Amino acid sequence: MTSELDPYKLASPQRYLWRMLIFIGAAAFIPLILYRQILEAFWSNPLLNAIIFLVLAVGIFLAIRQVARLFREVRWVNNFRLGDPGLEVSRPPILLAPMATLLGDRVGRMAINTSTMRSILDSVGMRLDEARDISRYLTGLLVFLGLLGTFWGLLQTVSSVGDVIRSLSVASSDVGVIFEDLKSGLEAPLQGMGTAFSSSLFGLSGSLVLGFLDLQASQAQTRFFTDLEDWLSTVTDIRIEDLDTDHAETLAQDNEQLVSVLQQLSKKIDRVGGEGGGDTRSATSAMANLAEGIQGLVQHLRSEQQLMREWADQQTTQQEDIKQLLQNLNKVLEDPGSTPPK
């Protein structure tokens, strides 16, 4: 009900955190059932497998931390948006530190320009991307460690099989001795296979877990960024000055083209006058073409400026309507029994 009355309130990332915790609990339940087989596979190569589990633990911690740190940011934005001093958050935001610096003490009803909005969104987006890059790197690192253990175990297996074949003595007439030597020699290749399969199992399973957690963290951050962008769009004041700043490069290019055309026509007039010995008819024709070109360019610039003014007036009217609707909604929320003004 609150989200319907206040559509621009930032949503809490709590549901994404619950998904992550439930998935971690379900993934941890499988080793509890198969703990004997997992312990046996772990001791096949304890050093490499311990590194894999350490990377997995760090990745799980960072993924949960990415979602947990959004709670402070969401709470700060909602309290800042309401502008209630009693709801002021004592701890400043981390991801939104540039936003807090740019906005300063402006709370409640405020207005920012488009350049400030773009600066805030770019800064927040860069910080969110940095956190995602770490999780993706750890996911790839788990896959690499699993493949490293696989090839390491295969190398041990191949070298051990070669040693077993070289140690067999065909000159012995006792078949039992030959089989005993073969059985004792195959222990090393089998241990190498255990190293290969155990490391691959732990590495790929860990990458699967981190991949799901990174997916949930990315969804939570995307939802936070989208809600923040939606709210900032309601407090962005679009004025003619902002439009002039945005289209300054376009107008400058038009002016440069006009100057270039004038210079070319001036050179042509001088060349015609020099070759024709003062042929006034050619000069008059060139001046007429110049006047027509300048008149068409001026009309084009005036039509563009008129379209910009009309669009700016429409945006200003829409902003005023939105502000009036928000004020009426705020009055209804403060006094539920009152009738909203029409």
Count of CB atoms situated within 10 Å of the CB of 211: 16
Alpha helices in 84-186 (DSSP H): 97-103, 114-167, 175-185
160, 263: one domain: no
Of 177, 211, 237, the residue that ends a domain is: 237
Confidence of residue 1 (pLDDT cuts 50, 70, 90): very low
Inter-helix orientation angle 35-42/46-82, to 10°: 110
pLDDT, residue 243, reads 46
Q: What is the mean pLDDT of residues 245-271?
A: 61
Confirm whether 47 is domain-assigned.
yes
What would the pLDDT profile of 287-316 be if each residue is shown by its tens digit? Answer: 667 667 777 777 777 777 778 778 777 777
169, 216: one domain: yes
320, 198: one domain: no
What would the pLDDT profile of 158-209 be if each residue is shown by its tens digit? Answer: 776 666 666 666 665 566 666 666 666 666 666 667 677 888 889 999 999 9
Confirm whether 105 is domain-assigned.
yes
196, 124: one domain: yes
Confirm whether 152 is domain-assigned.
yes
Count of domains forming the chain: 2
162, 27: one domain: yes
253, 233: one domain: no
Does the model's pTM come out above 0.75? Answer: no
Q: Which domain holds residue 317?
A: 249-334
Q: Give the span between the Cα atoms of 335 and 119, in whole angstroms.
A: 37
Looking at residue 238, what DSSP letter applies?
Answer: -
Confidence of residue 270 (pLDDT cuts 50, 70, 90): low
Looking at residue 96, what DSSP letter applies?
Answer: T
